[in-house]
Amino acid sequence: MPRRPAWTKVSKEDIAKDTTLVTCAFCKGRGIDPYGLSPLSNCVACGGRRTVLVREPYETCPVCEGTGLYFRSHLYCWTCHGKGVIHVKSKGVN
Ligand SMILES: [Zn+2]
Ligand SMILES: [Zn+2]
């Protein structure tokens, strides 16, 4: 029996319930890596899909302030992974 990480137990239906698609902040919805070697290379944050899945509730990433960019670099933000938004855990609930 192959062992699986815990997240594989979540069904697609469960994921769809509390997630939403937002425009990729890193490439600004263009789907290409804005700093890639090739203008045809896919955006590393959204994989070229131009949108990214984010769990609700979410808020603007406080680290990159929604730009999806790591501070003073051409890398994607490590906190939001280039999405520009981050999932917010419900306050007061463990
Ligand atoms: Zn992107
Ligand atoms: Zn960020």
Q: What is the pLDDT of residue 20?
A: 92
Q: Tell how far the Cα of 91 is from the centroid of ligand 1, in angstroms.
A: 29
- DSSP class per residue in 1-68: -----GGGGS-HHHHHHTEEEEE-TTTTTS-B-TT-SSTTSBPTTTTTSSEEEEESSEEE-TTTTTS-
Rounded mean pLDDT, 29-41: 81
Q: Tell how far the Cα of 42 is from the centroid of ligand 1, in angstroms.
A: 8
pLDDT beyond 90 at 36: no
Rounded mean pLDDT, 67-74: 88
Q: Tell how far the Cα of 36 is from the centroid of ligand 2, in angstroms.
A: 19
Q: Tell how far the Cα of 25 is from the centroid of ligand 2, in angstroms.
A: 9
Ligand number, closest to the Cα atom of 86? 2
Annotated domain spans of the chain: 13-89
